[in-house]
Amino acid sequence: MVTIPRLVVAAPSSGSGKTTVATGLMAALRARGLRVSPHKVGPDYIDPGYHALATGRPGRNLDPWLQGEERVMPLFLHGAAGCEVAVVEGVMGLFDGRGDTEFASTAHVARLLDAPVVLVVDAARQSRSVAAVVHGFATFDPRVRVGGVVLNRVGSDRHAELCRSALAGVGVPVLGVVRRDDAVFTPSRHLGLVPAAERQGEAVDAVERLAALVARSCDLDALLRLARSAPPLDAFPWDPVAAAWGRGDGQVSGPSGLGGPGGLGVSTGFPGRAGEVAGVRPVVGVAGGAAFTFGYAEHVELLRAAGADVVTFDPLRDERLPDGAGALVIGGGFPEVYAAELAANEPLRAQVAAFGGPIVAECAGLLYLCDELDGRRMCGRVPGRAAMTSRLTLGYREAVALARTPLTRPGERFRGHEFHRTTVEYAGPPLFRWEDRSRRSGTGTHGRSTGQSGGDGYGDALVTASYLHLHWAGAPGTAQRLVSSSRSPSVLR
């Protein structure tokens, strides 16, 4: 049994102030000298960046769809190791899950963690009605314990008094009253908040303001008491070494169903041996910098556990790939915002174009590998043209691989997530066929319906590229497969 005080910060809907309260609470508790473990429900990459600034630890996601229900608690314990309290920020409304179900909702994760919930309610333009809202959420599912409420965007002392009076009979204590404060502002753009990595000093200042706001507006002692009321957890922490090598909690037959009951079918041996040549560990270059800020901490941990050295490179600034790189991972981000700068870095684009090892690219990485992005030359490894659009594509996906690549085999099933406002006109057949019946119909990027029969992505002997974001903890053999297929420096010369 493992004891870790914890609470989940949720809300009736998006835009209620979850990120403000959760990030401010993390930073305020850290300012008290506590070691705080930050977590985010769902696949979002941006909020965990602010959580990392608030706590000094990697922000980690908890997602039953991407990772599998059975891994949520072990991954939580892995992230919370050595911490004194954990704060989990929810997603959307408390009970909003995949499609018309509660699966992968904040409530689902709160139940898996047996964690009390703090409900953040936007009290602007209402007073007594907040009691009806809180009563409804507190009683909707008796398996979810709403242990307190934080009123957000309260306009005055009189407004706060009216809300408190109305809530007195509901039985859910008010643990904070956050007044409207125009100084607490985080800029947004087409996919939500601007990532913390792009704002640098401004983001640090913003988190400090959030910490001060929550510290003066919320009862931190009462919030800690609520967190400490969570019972011990009967589970073992997730272990990236065991996961990468298909042992114990790391069995590779997770929710993606990759390769059927036996998982990915990668070879298993001794940790640190995958892809080694004459005792030299393979080097995996991972794209970073302002244009490629999306990534899960567990991916790097799994790559290292599979035997690789991981080196970050910045496609905006670096003119060469990391020395000895035998594989590349180019994840998500905002290349469309930096298309001119990426195009101007011709030396690196030429190296990526000629790279002889495996390349894994997701969303932003896909755009970077295309022939062009909004009319500007990119790397030309994916035969296709990418462009910004006004349409948001967002949601969980279930896909079947149609081609053999360094990461996929025909017929393997993957669970992932899409999140973009771009489109790609591919010149070849798709890498994936969508199996997600909930995806809205429309014109697909391969000229097909984007419903059940739609497709996406590009794959060949070296390239695995698509809009699909994966969480490798849900299919950890992915990392070993990439490392095992990496090329040695002598091969790449």
Lookup: tokens for 437: 């019946």
Q: Round to whole Å and give the CA distance between 431 and 465.
A: 8
CB 479 within 8 A of CB 250: no
Q: Name the DSSP class of 246.
A: T
Q: Which residues contact 230 (CB under 8 A, 6 or more apart)?
A: 4, 5, 6, 7, 113, 114, 115, 116
CB 466 within 8 A of CB 457: yes
CB 18 within 8 A of CB 10: yes
Q: Which residues contact 380 (CB under 8 A, 6 or more apart)?
A: 349, 353, 369, 370, 371
Angle at 470 between CA 61 and CA 280, to 5 degrees: 100
Q: Which of 83, 163, 218, 363 is catalytic?
A: 363
Q: Name the DSSP class of 261.
A: G
Element (H, E) at 75: helix 69-80
Amino acid making up residue 54: A
Active site residue 363: yes
CB 38 within 8 A of CB 54: yes
By annotation, the residues acting in catalysis are: 363
